[in-house]
Amino acid sequence: MIRVLVVDDSTFMRNSLTRMLTSDPEIEVVGQAGDGIEALEKTKELNPDLISLDLEMPRMGGLEMLEKMMRDNPKPVLVISSLTYEGAEATLKALELGALDYMPKYVEGTTVFAIAQKELTEKVKALVKSPSTRLILAKMRMKAVKSAVTARAGAPAAASSAASPLSSAAAAQTSSANAKLSSLSIKAVPGQGQATYVRPSEPLPTGRPNRDIVAISVSTGGPPAVQKVLTALPENFPACILIAQHMPAAFTGAFAKRLDSLCKITVKEAKNGDPIIPGIAYVCPGAQHISVTIKGALPQIKVSPEPTTEIYKPCANILNRSVAIMGNKVVGLTMTGMGADGCEGSKVLKAKGGYLLAQSEDTCVVYGMPRAVVEAKIADDIVDLDDIADALIRALYK
């Protein structure tokens, strides 16, 4: 049974979320809290498996509560966010602080959930059951222990050659934390989700690459993962990047703006007719699809709500099928996410000469979309998140 703590300052929303969650026989709501202070107390008292977290609350808001909890007692968190630009900014900050994912709270000011009850419960189960969630939280807990030890022991005590009782206790506590983390290491099944890519010792290649388009398919857990990859790319990255991130329309502009402020390359929300230019990453607007068309002799970006029948907007399958017209010029990257969107398009891209990378199981928040690509046996490399930027650059020259 998955035990959930529901945190929201609205009684109506708390009760609505409780009804939705408990409709699934695998989920139990063990408590509710109306603000961050109460939520921290109930987290210690109830030890839930996951917390659904509102961000705008009295006394202590969700961001402050999340920062304190991740520092002292990390737990899986699903943010319930308002569909506004401010809500998007706060949600992206929450993901940086350690929240695993989010879902929209309102549609046009009403209290109708944008994501169906079935998707909410599936997301909660996927986040709690994901093997990588355990490892992510273990790393956070070890960091919290080390920070506490450093604060207690102090730099002079740590540097002293004569071990005091405090420094001895600190060392023991740190050793214990390291041992626990080691015991929590996750081993994927060889040939399935385990990384096959080993970062070469040779310098990164330079000059004009053989491939100059990167198509990224990503969903649950994507924003922090995409940020990690893009911020590691050099200013002279020699390819254009197209990103199909499952995200509400109100969020993609803020997401692109945030990435642009952090990255050496340029990041912008895509517009219909944008040119394919190296060193620019285009984020598909929410509720739209991104694809590539040929106008004259040159490729350009197409942004459109069509086809409206697709479950996902943006749809990664549409992106991957479209770039397949330039298959041997393309690197396809499938990252963390629920479901299998992008896999069928990746098969078309692979058949046309595309080079495919898939994020490793150990480093995905939810190993769904990459799993589909790996199990279809079309991934050229399975790559840990920390190595994706390196693997991308090298793949451009293959």
The 3-class SS string of the chain reads: CEEEEEECCCHHHHHHHHHHHHCCCCEEEEEEECCHHHHHHHHHHHCCCEEEEECCCCCCCHHHHHHHHHHHCCCCEEEEECCCHHHHHHHHHHHHHCCCEEEECCECCECCCCCCHHHHHHHHHHHHHCHHHHHHHHHHHHHHHHHHHHHHHCHHHHHCCCCCHHHHHHHHHHHHHHHHHHHCCCCCCCCCCCCCCCCCCCCCCCCCCCCCEEEEEECCCHHHHHHHHHHCCCCCCCCEEEEEECCCHHHHHHHHHHHHHHCCCEEEECCCCCECCCCEEEECCCCCEEEEEEECCEEEEEEECCCCCCCCCCCHHHHHHHHHHHHHHEEEEECCECCCCCHHHHHHHHHCCCEEEEECHHHCCCECHHHHHHHCCCCCEEECHHHHHHHHHHHCCC
Residues annotated catalytic, as ranges? 219, 246, 341
